[in-house]
């Protein structure tokens, strides 16, 4: 195992408004080795983006708060950094690619200027050098460098996302957080963008957190995979482990709901029920109401995350030795 680049410990993030407190991220733990890709999957509202913004320290002003926890990046706690120190990290050491390329670029600035901006900020070079670097970056993401003088509206969606990626990679960051980089794009473009991201990630040895709700993308791209549900990580492990041998009932249900092309089915499998309201999370297991394997313990207590095999963790009473039924469940496997 290589050097550990990111270590998120017991991170809790709340959104606080006058009316309510939304518990968006609840005590999550994540680790990422240098050069690896970690997939963060989960449905909308599971807290994936909030986790990413928390790492970037870009939570919405006044509303988003990190309540507790540590985010160790290259051994230093980002939560203890001053705003000035964070600015020198953002864009340089940690970059982020946002979900919607249509709105992520400033409409009144040329794309060249927008790429050069980050280079100028962190490499302390002249505007001309930064623009030259911007053109190199455009070429790298497959756009004719001469188009650096054009404005975002003159590019297609897929090309805009390439530009966003060029901005994110311009300073060769150690960690790249990609928040659903392909969600807003159509399927053929998705594949191109993902291929390109993986190629660039390998060439530069960048570590990456890939946020997605597309399990196929995770299987394709990621070394590790974390499944989020209601602000918690319910399963974490190497991608093969999580995919070949899913342990948490939520993960298992997710796989069942992937439509198969081979089988002739009338209705797609869905997970019954709704995600619980994050402003009113239960004391007990948050997946309990939708779970097919629940037990009397599940409606009373909140399970904790335990290792089910080496490097593979799940947050379910099935695998907690204290739970009486665990022996029987293990026997079945």
Partner 1 sequence: MLKYIIKRILLLIPILLGVSAIIFALKTVTPGDPARQILGNDATQEQIDAKREELGLNDPVVVQYVRYIGGVVRGDFGDSYRTGEPVLKEILPRLKTSGVITLGAVAIGAFLGIILGILSALKKYTWVDSLVLVISMFFQSVPEFVVGLVLIMVLAVNLHLLPTNGIENPLGYIMPMLCIGLPSIASYTRITRSSMLEVLGEDYIRTARAKGQTEHNITYHHALRNAMIPVAQSIGTSLGNSIGGGMVVETVFGVPGVGKYIVDSITQRNYPSILGGALIIAIVLVVINLLVDIAFVLIDPRLKTTIISGGASRKKSKPAAA
Q: Which residues bind partner 1 (CB under 8 A)?
A: 56, 58, 86-92, 95-96, 98, 100, 103-109, 117-118, 121-122, 142-144, 151, 153-154, 156-159, 164, 167-168, 189, 192
Instruction: Pick the closest to residue 248 from 330, 289, 308, 299 (CA basis).
Output: 308
**∠251-253-259 over CA atoms, to 5°?**
110
154 vs 257 by CB, closer to partner 1: 154
Cβ 204 to partner 1, closest distance in Å? 18
Q: How far is the CB of 46 from partner 1 (least distance, A)?
A: 20
The residues facing 97 across adjacent strands are: 178
Q: How far is the CB of 56 from partner 1 (least distance, A)?
A: 6
Closest to 179 measured CA to CA, from 208, 145, 143 = 208
Cβ closer to partner 1: 8 or 105? 105
**Left if phi > 0, otherwise alpha if psi is -120 to 50, otherwise beta: which for 300?**
alpha
Select from 236, 206, 182, 202 the least CA-distant residue to 39. Answer: 236
Q: Least distance (Å) from partner 1 to the CB of residue 159?
A: 5
| CA dist list (Å): 76 to 7, 35, 188, 207 | 10, 18, 40, 16
Closer of 65 and 290 to partner 1 (Cβ):
65
> Least distance from C-beta 224 to partner 1, angstroms?
23
How far from 280 is each of 21, 211, 276, 283, 284, CA to CA, in Å?
8, 25, 8, 9, 12
Rounded distance between C-alpha atoms, residue 17 and residue 125, angstroms: 42
Q: In terms of CB distance, is 92 or 248 closer to partner 1? A: 92
DSSP state letter for 13: E
Considering the complex, state which of residue 137 and residue 291 has its C-beta at the smaller distance from partner 1. Answer: 137
Contact 298, 230 (CB under 8 A): no
6-35: b (≥16 Cβ within 10 Å) or e? bbbeebbbbbeeeeeebbbbbbbbbbbbbb
Residue 170 tokens read as 């311009």
* Smaller CB separation from partner 1, 8 or 55: 55
CB of 60 to partner 1, least distance (A): 9
> Smaller CB distance to partner 1: residue 44 or 264?
44
Q: CB-wise, 173 or 278, nearer to partner 1?
A: 173
Kindly state the smallest distance separating residue 176's Cβ from partner 1, in Å.
11
Nearest to 32 by CA among 206, 202, 232: 206
Minimum distance, C-beta of residue 142 to partner 1, in the bound complex (Å): 5
């Amino acid at each position: 195992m290589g050097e550990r680049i990111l270590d998120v410990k017991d991170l809790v993030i709340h959104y606080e408004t006058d009316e309510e407190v939304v518990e968006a991220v609840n005590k999550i733990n994540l680790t990422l080795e240098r050069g690896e890709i970690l997939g963060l999957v989960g449905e909308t509202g599971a807290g994936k983006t909030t986790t990413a913004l928390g790492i970037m320290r870009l939570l919405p002003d006044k509303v988003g708060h990190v309540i507790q926890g540590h985010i160790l990046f290259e051994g230093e706690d980002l939560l203890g950094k001053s705003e000035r120190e964070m600015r020198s990290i953002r864009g340089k050491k940690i970059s982020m690619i946002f979900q919607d390329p249509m709105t992520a670029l400033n409409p009144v600035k040329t794309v060249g200027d927008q790429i050069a901006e980050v280079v100028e900020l962190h490499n302390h070079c002249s505007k001309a050098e930064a623009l030259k670097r911007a053109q190199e970056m455009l070429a790298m993401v497959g756009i004719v460098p001469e188009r650096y003088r054009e404005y975002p509206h003159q590019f297609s969606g897929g090309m805009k996302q390439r530009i966003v990626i060029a901005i994110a990679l311009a300073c060769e960051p150690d960690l790249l957080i990609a928040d659903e980089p392909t969600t807003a794009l159509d399927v053929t473009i998705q594949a191109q963008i993902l291929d390109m991201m993986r190629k660039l990630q390998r060439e530069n040895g960048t570590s990456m957190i890939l946020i997605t709700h597309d399990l196929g993308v995770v299987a394709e791209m990621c070394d590790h995979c974390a499944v989020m549900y209601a602000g918690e990580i319910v399963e974490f492990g190497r991608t093969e482990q999580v995919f070949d041998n899913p342990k948490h009932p939520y993960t298992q249900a997710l796989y069942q709901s992937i439509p198969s092309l081979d089988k002739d089915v009338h209705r797609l499998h869905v997970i019954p029920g709704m995600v619980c309201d994050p402003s009113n999370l239960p004391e007990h297991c948050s997946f309990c109401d939708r779970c097919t394997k629940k037990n009397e313990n599940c409606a009373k207590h909140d399970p904790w995350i335990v290792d089910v095999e080496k490097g593979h963790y799940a947050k379910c009473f099935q695998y907690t030795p204290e739970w009486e039924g665990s022996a029987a469940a293990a026997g079945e496997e």
